[in-house]
Amino acid sequence: PGPSFAITLFVTYWGVVALALRFMTVEGLPPEAPRTGTIITIDVSTNQAYLFRDGMLVKKSAAATGSDKVLRKGRRVWWFRTPRGRHAVVRKVVDPVWSKPDWAFIEEGKPVPPPDSPLRKERGTMGKYALDLGERVMIHGTNDPKSIGRRVSHGCIRLPNGMLKVLWKEAQV
């Protein structure tokens, strides 16, 4: 019983070590995230954005994320939360134009224009580039650099121009 017990203990020990190395904690990279390819993570608890290549940190930056505030107008309710989970870049946009949703006018105390109104189009507020994650959520720049590092957005992720430019080059649709 002695030698086989020692071998079993050794194999089990190294199995745990291998497992621990596989899921070793890396700042900004969740244990369940892939360790190959280009990975962008956003930590909404610290308002940090990370870019990893093959499990190695390439760049880190402050980010603005969703405020988690709720807006109500009549029976309509909006929750300004950055969505959690795994997402993919569905398209890359140069010089994005913000199509202002109803809630933007309600927040400003203005009447909501028709869907095709030119009042809904706003240029320059989203920076030079945007990575569209679908469901009206994007990683984009901002014309309000003071918002970076805070929970102030309506769900999108705002980044400084330098970080956004790097992500734009690295991210694949």
- A 10 A CB-CB count for 57 gives 13
Helix (H, G, I), strand (E, B) or coil at 18: helix
Bridge-based pairing state of the strands 121-123 and 129-132: unpaired
What is the spatial distance between Cα 139 and Cα 154, in angstroms, rounded to a whole number? 12
Residue 32 to residue 39: CA distance in whole angstroms:
12
User: What tokens does 113 get?
Assistant: 């224009």
Taking alpha carbons only, the member of 125, 58, 64 closest to residue 97 is 125
Helices (H) and strands (E) in the chain, counts: 3, 13
The residues assigned a catalytic role are 140, 156
| Alpha-carbon radius of gyration of the chain | 21
Contact 148, 142 (CB under 8 A): yes
